[in-house]
Every structure is written in structure tokens, then in C-alpha cells.
Chains A and B, each alone.
Chain A
Amino acid sequence: MQYADFDAENRRITGAYGRETADPEALQAAADRLRAQSAAIASDADRAKAFRHLTLLDEFIESIRTPAPSSQVVWAANDAMIRGLSTTGTPAEQRARASAAIEEIGRIAAAAPTGAERDAALEMNGALAEFIRVLDGETR
């Protein structure tokens, strides 16, 4: 197997998630097949690089199988932040959207089931505050 073939298959497996399959076991089976084939890469350096990428691929699949702590609250706040950072419209319209997003994140955070989720949601107001400050051209 050539490294280029390995790289193409590695990308195909990574890209399949959410596009062709959401099943981590199907992805793991493909990753295991690729690992077996990768042992035949002739170049020591390329083989070592391939196995570094296989470790990453395993971690990616494991993150699908066992997601890290996440919450609807934090994602809702994230989505509000991204809407608030939109650069479409006039500066005044952008500022109004960003201010509304800060208020929306405040409401989302207030309803968070845990303090940690509230913390993570409110953290994202930092990007919006910075965005508004830049729009305003404020300096102390």
C-alpha cells in the first residue's frame, strides 16, 4: 500500500460520518481494515505517519461512540452567538443583532440545568462583547 492510498482511505472514513453513516462501529470496522493494510506500507517514515493518523482516527470514532460532555444549552448559546456575529447589514444592524444575542444567551444560561452549563454558555458572550467593541471603535 502506498501512503497516498492510505491517506485517501483515511479521509474517506473520516468524511463518511454524518454523510454516509452515523454508526461508529461501521467506521471502526473500516478503520481496522485500514490499519491491517497499513502494515504493508513500505517506507518506515510513511508507515509511522500512517499509524499516527490511525490513532487520531480511533480517537475521532471514540468521540462519536462516547461523546464528551455537551449540552443542548451550550449549543443553543453557541448558535445564538454565531447569529450575533454575522457581518451582514449595516454596523448598526450588526450591533443590534450582537446585543440581542447577548440577551438571548443570558436567557439560555438562566435556564441551564447546571452551573457548569451556565458557565460555558455565558463564556461565549466574550466574543460578542469584543465584536460590539470593535464595531463601536471603543478604546479606554
Chain B
Amino acid sequence: MNVGRTPDSEIPDVGNGLWERIRDAVQAESGAETSLWNGQLDYTNNANRGETWEDGRMCLNRADVVEPLQEMYATAGQPATPEQWIKRRNALKTVIHEYSHVTAPDGHTHADREAQLRRGLARPIEEGVTEAWSQDVVDRVAVRVLPAEMAEQIKAVRDVRGPHAYPAWEPAARSLAGRVGADVGLDGTEVLRRMSAETLEGKARVVADLLYDASDLPNVVPPSEEQTVREEISDWIQGKFAELDALYWDPRANRDAISKQRGLEIAAGASDVVRDAEKFYRTWHHPTQELDKLRGVLEGQAPAAGAPRVPQGEAAQGRRTAQPVEQIATRGTPAR
């Protein structure tokens, strides 16, 4: 159950429950099952605009995030400059961004989130997806949480709001979602939404699951291997996204477009991983069958007793073809 702002929070209420309304709107727009915000809302102690701690505490910058929103309510109905509305819009975006970091499926705990943060591998995809999705939903969240006249002013400065943060990761996240969506028949914004509802490491898993479910893998991968294959696809995507850190950025290139290009290439590579796994599992044989076969050979029996040979393609109906034991041994790690 979602909690409200705690009484000992440093940041006061704004607009009679604005912080809670934004949290609820982020959940509603993303479809996330829960929020890990623990109700504590304090100021950042540095030049950081916002951060969410492992225990669910959220911190927002006083001058850059909290005060613009306080001023918006305190001066409601009075004229404000476009620059003021841009500052208010970007403040709202930061709050959405921070709440999006703590959306999660039911059952995900603060300890789970902390463990994922400590592993650190998912930070690029987490920040890229969170910034892209947060920017996309500012208008809709504004309509949900602000009085109509304020929401209209927030929406009015959308096209002059300025550049987005995380420019190496955000365009890549968008194009990754777009290409995976094109592969499976979903709009890229829907893929991004599904990713936004997930945890740090769950974001790549969303993409992996979409590709897996749209492929032939459900027909050829035995149930005992399914989670492993899904995780391997997910790990591959997350790892490639993390490599965006190490890119050589040609100063003459349009770096936003290069980021987009890398996102498209990661999605294409993930499809290749899926195709490779399909090829492997179409001819893969369960080790116990092979052991039965080997046992039969050692006992002087016909090898067919434990491992019926079926034509390729019938594996899709759940049967697996015979394969030499040594070949299995050399292919112990499928889907690479």
C-alpha cells in the first residue's frame, strides 16, 4: 500500500498533496504495481536536482525543484514568464523522474533495489529509459495532478523546454524500445512504458521477454531452460547498453543520432541472440536423454531406447532429436 509524505520530512506539502499525486500519476501512467517511496521527502545536500535512496527516501533540490513548484501555487492566477514555466515544467519532470526510479512490481523490496544498485550494471539503461519516459509523460502527469490552468501552461512550453539529460543514454533507450516494438508489433512508446514500470534490471528483461515471446523460443526451449535463456538475452542487452559509456564520440558527429544508432544496433543484436538461441534449441537434446543413450551403448543395447530420433522441426512439439554426447558437452551454455 502506498504511503503519504512523512511528518518529519524536510520538504513541506505543496498544493495539498502534490507529491503524493505525482507518485500516483507515475504509477498510473507506467502501470507499475507499486512504489518503493517510503514517504520521506528531504532536500538534496548538493547541486543534485533529485535522488532516491536505497531505503525509499526521496530528496529534491530546494532552489531548482521544490521552490519553483511552491511558487507556481503561491502565485496561481498571476502572470509568469515562459522562463518561469520552463523551470516549473523541468521541476515537475525531475519529480516524475525520481518517482519513476522507484516504481516496481509487487514484492520488489528496498533490499532488492539496493542489490541491483550495487551491481551497477543497469545504471545506463535505467537512467536512459527513466529520462525518456519521464519527458514523454510530463504533459499527461500535469493534467492529472495540477489545476487545469497550470497544466495548460506547463504543456504550452513543451517545445521550448530545452535539451534532455543523459544524452548518451536517453536517445538509445528510445530507439531500442522503438526497434523492439517494430519487431514484435508494439509502438515504441508502449515498450518504453513497460520498461519504466520495472526495476533497474527489470528494464532489459522487459525487452528480452518481448523478443522471446514473439520468437519460436517458447516452442523449442524446454521449461527447465526457459528462465536461463530469458536472463541471457536480458543480460546481453543490459551489457551492451552499459558499453555506451565507453563509446568514442566523434566531436564532428551528431552525438544524439549516434546514441539513437547504438540503440537500434543493440535491439538488432538482441534479435540475433534470439535467432541464435532458436537455432540451437531446435537441435538441442536434453542431457538425461543423452545419458540414457550412452548408458544403452555401454550396456550393449540399442541407443534408440532412450533417445528416439525424430526429424528436425518436430522439436517444436516437444520432442528432441538425438545428438552425440560429446556435442552436448561442447554446447553446455546455450543461447550465447
Contacts and interface: CB of A to CB of B under 8 A. Distances in A.
Contact of B120 (A7, A59, A87): A87
Interface string B81-108: 0010011001000100110000000000
Contacts of A133: 51, 53-54
B255 A14 contact: no
B57 A71 contact: no
Interface stretch (B10-18, B29-37, B176-184, B289-297): B176-184
Interface of A: 7, 11, 14-15, 17-18, 22, 49, 52-53, 55-56, 59-60, 63-64, 67-71, 74-75, 78-79, 82, 85, 87, 102, 105-106, 109, 114-117, 119-131, 133-134, 138-140
A41 to B, nearest CB: 14
6 contacts: A59-B178, A68-B163, A74-B167, A115-B83, A128-B48, A139-B53
Given A116-B90, A119-B90, A129 B48 contact: yes
A14 B269 CA distance: 13
B250 interface: yes
A38 to B, nearest CB: 13
Contact of B257 (A52, A64, A87, A131): A64
Interface in B210-261: 245, 249-250, 252-258, 260-261
B250 A68 contact: no
A7 B57 CA distance: 46
B1 interface: no
Interface string B176-206: 0011011101001000000000000000000
B175 A56 contact: yes
Contacts of A87: 120
Interface size grouping (class) on chain B: 35 or more
Contacts of A131: 120, 123
Contact of B46 (A68, A85, A120, A129): A129
B55 interface: yes
Given A116-B161, A116-B163, A11 B268 contact: yes
Q: Is the interface of A mostly helix, strand, loop or mixed?
A: helix
Given A18-B261, A126-B51, A120 B179 contact: no
A53 B51 contact: no
Contacts of B245: 82, 85
Nearest to B91: A119
B26 to A, nearest CB: 16
B283 interface: no
Contacts of A74: 163-165, 167
B64 A122 contact: yes
- Identify the 10 closest CB pairs spanning chains A and B, nearest first: A116-B162, A123-B165, A52-B182, A125-B48, A119-B90, A120-B165, A106-B47, A64-B257, A69-B163, A74-B163
B9 interface: no
B256 A67 contact: yes
Contacts of B257: 17-18, 60, 63-64, 67
A70 to B, nearest CB: 5
A15 B51 CA distance: 36
Contacts of A129: 44, 46, 48, 51
B162 A125 contact: no
A87 B246 CA distance: 12
A52 B188 CA distance: 10
A140 B54 CA distance: 9
Listed residue (B120, B165, B166, B249) with the most chain A CB atoms within 10 angstroms of its CB: B165
B40 A140 contact: yes
Contacts of A60: 175, 257, 260-261, 264
Contacts of B76: none
Nearest to B188: A56
Nearest to A86: B245
Nearest to A110: B47
Contacts of B131: 123
Contact of B166 (A68, A78, A109): A78
B322 interface: no
A111 B136 CA distance: 27
Contacts of A52: 181-182, 185
